[in-house]
Amino acid sequence: MNSSAPEPLVVARGLTKRFPDLTAVDHVDFAIQPGEVVGFLGPNGAGKTTTIRMVTCTSPLSDGSLLVFGLDVTSHPREIKAQIGVVPQDNNYDPDLSVIENLITYGRYYRLDPKTTESRARELLEFVQLTDKADARVEELSGGMKRRLIMARGLINQPRMLVLDEPTTGLDPQARRLIWQRIRELKYSGVTVIITTHYMDEAEQVCDRVLVIDAGKVIAQGTPAGLIAQFAGSEVLEVIPENPEQPDLLATLATCGHVQRLGDKFELFAGDCPNTLETIRSRIKLVSFGVRRATLEDVFIRLTGKELRD
Amino acid sequence: MRLLPDLSTRLWSVWQRNFQVFRRLFWVNFVLPMAEPILYLVALGFGLGMFVKEIGGVPYPRFIAPGLVSVAMMYASFFECTFASFVRMYYQRTFDAIIATPVNVEEVVAGEILWGATRSAINATMVFLVVVLFGLAPAWCLPLVAGIGFVCGILFGSMGMIATALVPSIDFFNYPIFLYITPMFLFSGTFFPLSALPRAVQTVSWAILPLTHIVSINRALLIGPLSTNLFWSVAWILVVGAATFLIAIRLMKRRLIK
């Protein structure tokens, strides 16, 4: 291993995945540094899962190159997979086994020593707060507990990199916070993390850096704060006009900045909100108005459009 | 594309997982398979046997005993590698979980087939014990029966796995079962000699029904006589077994890797 400058853990160049009916990932380039928590953010069907399936060596590339730990995913899948932990989108735990058996059996797939696996499994159950469920059947666990079990399973081989595909979808706020906390702890212990999500708060909470993916392409990347500053400004002005169908409404609003319509509400990404508001109020009758802090969600909606995706 | 699958001893971790689950239901899995041959022996062997008396100088219960052992070899692995494997693959997503580790798809499929073969060996052994208890076969054949069960189990397990790789949903297993397995159960010399059937049917039976060869091997072993014809049956099982094993792995890889 090269001990001088840290080499990126993952390097994708022109990474492409074509299916018979669509190009899911379209010439994507990115690099992930050791110790980073990187979020792949995008609407459903953007290509996030397909990308990480290539990174985790479970889906072959159609084109481009992909190195993980400096190894080619096509020629060295076993060596790479041995050092990766995966938390897939589906909770594919083994329903025929108990909670602790799920971890021990999984360790066997990595050829871990059975004794070490068992003690490691107990530590991991502690880490995800499932110690008292060790001998329970998995089916008896709540959704949040199942998710934590899958997270523990992804750590059984003490991976250098953990890949989580939508780790908190469908979970209650407490369960989500626990998972975020654990991701941060892993980061501090030196584990590199890739996470896909379409929850903006999740990306802001846990990610050092975010890649916004849409239609198989990386359309923006940066820190959550950097992206917000770049694409949404610091504040967003929300106005509800009396007559949303007023003919010159959009044109008038557009003179003040980028406008987005959500039903009868209009969002304005304007630099100077107080002044803009004065200008607007002098020309349009408003039912209500407000100023709020810009979030990653604004960036996301602005970059990927607001139409419904399936 | 490589000709031979990329296999390592890691496939035994897949086998081990299935064994671990199987062992838990000891009575259901080990003892229950003994019930069916007892029913067949009583109903057909001794019931129908009252009228049939003997076939080729062999008392009827003794004649069908090797058939029952052979049928156990067929059913155990075929059902394991169809319904049970399909549930693990499709409903439980167990295979997806395993291939995220250094175990690859080829090893998952091979591990499943070898597990099916193990079940054939186990079930054939349990049925054989019943046959021995009824005094219809010599006990010393047990290790041979288990070994034959394992080898034949690879063949039937691979056939089942090919079906698993091709069916759109679990209901479609009815096609291979009703169109292939059930006719095989009846027309492989299990309950009456093949010579009772028209020449053409006999030819087809030897050509495409593995059970025909297995019954002939087991009957020669448990009753005799051993003849050189057995060599062809053993060769048939080994060649077709190896071919279906490779085809099963290739088709499953195509289904699972996208």
In tens, the pLDDT along B122-158 reads 999 999 999 999 999 999 999 999 999 999 999 999 9
Cβ–Cβ below 8 Å for B20 and A95: no
Calculate the alpha carbon distances from B140 to A207, B60, B125, B223 in Å.
Answer: 67, 22, 12, 13
State CA A200 to chain mean position distance: 8
How far is the C-alpha of B103 from the C-alpha of B95, rounded, in Å?
10
The secondary structure element, H or E, covering residue A114 is helix A114-127
pLDDT digits (tens, 9 = 90+) for B46-57: 899 889 989 989
Residue that has been written with the tokens 């439980």 in this structure: B92
The distance of B20 to chain A (nearest Cα, Å) reads 9
Cβ–Cβ below 8 Å for A111 and B13: yes
Confidence of residue A37 (pLDDT cuts 50, 70, 90): very high
Residue count of chain A, please give it: 310
Return the pLDDT at A270.
74
Cβ–Cβ below 8 Å for B102 and A108: no
Single-letter amino acid code for the residue at B11: L
Cβ–Cβ below 8 Å for A78 and B17: no
Mean pLDDT of A44-65: 95
Could you tell me which chain B residue has the CA closest to the CA of A20? B258
Confidence of residue B118 (pLDDT cuts 50, 70, 90): very high
Which residue among B21, B98, B258 places its CB closest to the CB of A109? B98
pLDDT digits (tens, 9 = 90+) for A153-187: 999 999 999 999 999 988 889 989 999 999 999 99
Confidence of residue A309 (pLDDT cuts 50, 70, 90): low
Which residue among B21, B100, B103 places its CB closest to the CB of A56? B100
How far is the C-alpha of B40 from the C-alpha of B137, rounded, in Å?
16
Domains detected in chain A: 10-228 (3.40.50.300), 235-293 (3.30.70)
DSSP B165-213: HH-SSGGGGHHHIIIIIHHHHHSSSSSS-GGGS-HHHHHHHHHH-HHHH
A93 in contact with B, Cβ within 8 Å: yes
Cβ–Cβ below 8 Å for B103 and A106: no
The distance of A281 to chain B (nearest Cα, Å) reads 56
Which residue among A81, A92, A105 places its CB closest to the CB of B20? A105
How far is the C-alpha of A132 from the C-alpha of A149, rounded, in Å?
12
Q: Which residues of B touch A153 (CB under 8 A)?
A: 97
Tell which A residues from 179 to 238 touch B, by Cβ distance under 8 Å: none
Residue B68 near residue B37, CB atoms below 8 Å = yes
Single-letter amino acid code for the residue at B114: L
Could you tell me which chain B residue has the CA closest to the CA of A17? B258
Which letter does DSSP use for residue A33 in this model?
-
Cβ–Cβ below 8 Å for B257 and A58: yes
A69 in contact with B, Cβ within 8 Å: no
Cβ–Cβ below 8 Å for B17 and A105: yes
State yes or no: pLDDT of B193 exceeds 70: yes
Confidence of residue B1 (pLDDT cuts 50, 70, 90): low
Could you tell me which chain A residue has the CA closest to the CA of B96? A92
The whole model's pTM is what?
0.91
How far is the C-alpha of A203 from the C-alpha of A190, rounded, in Å?
19
Cβ neighbors of A226 (< 8 A, separation 6 or more) are none
The residues on B that touch A, with CB distances below 8 Å, are 10, 13, 16-17, 20-21, 92-94, 96-104, 257-258
Could you tell me which chain B residue has the CA closest to the CA of A105? B17
State yes or no: pLDDT of B20 exceeds 80: yes
Return the pLDDT at A1.
47
Cβ–Cβ below 8 Å for A93 and B97: yes
Task: Count CB pairs under 8 A between chains A and B.
Answer: 65
pLDDT digits (tens, 9 = 90+) for B220-240: 999 988 888 899 999 999 999
Give the full edge-to-edge strand order of the sheet including A265-269. Answer: A258-262, A265-269, A235-241, A286-293
Return the pLDDT at A93.
95
SS3 for A190-233 is CCEEEEEECCHHHHHHHCCEEEEEECCEEEEEECHHHHHHHHCC
State yes or no: pLDDT of A212 exceeds 50: yes
The distance of A105 to chain B (nearest Cα, Å) reads 7
Residue A38 near residue A195, CB atoms below 8 Å = yes
Cβ–Cβ below 8 Å for B92 and A90: no
The structural domains of chain B, with segments of one domain joined by +, span 11-256
Residue B33 near residue B76, CB atoms below 8 Å = yes
Question: B1 versus B153: which is more confidently predicted?
Answer: B153
Q: Which residues of B touch A81 (CB under 8 A)?
A: 100-102
pLDDT digits (tens, 9 = 90+) for A226-276: 998 888 888 888 889 888 887 778 788 887 778 888 888 888 887 777 778
Question: A293 versus A183: which is more confidently predicted?
Answer: A183
- Average pLDDT, rounded, for chain A: 90
Greatest extent of chain B over all pairs of C-alpha atoms, in Å: 59
Radius of gyration of chain A from its Cα atoms, rounded to whole angstroms: 23
The distance of B126 to chain A (nearest Cα, Å) reads 24
Q: Is the dihedral of CA A72, A77, A83, A89 positive or negative?
A: positive
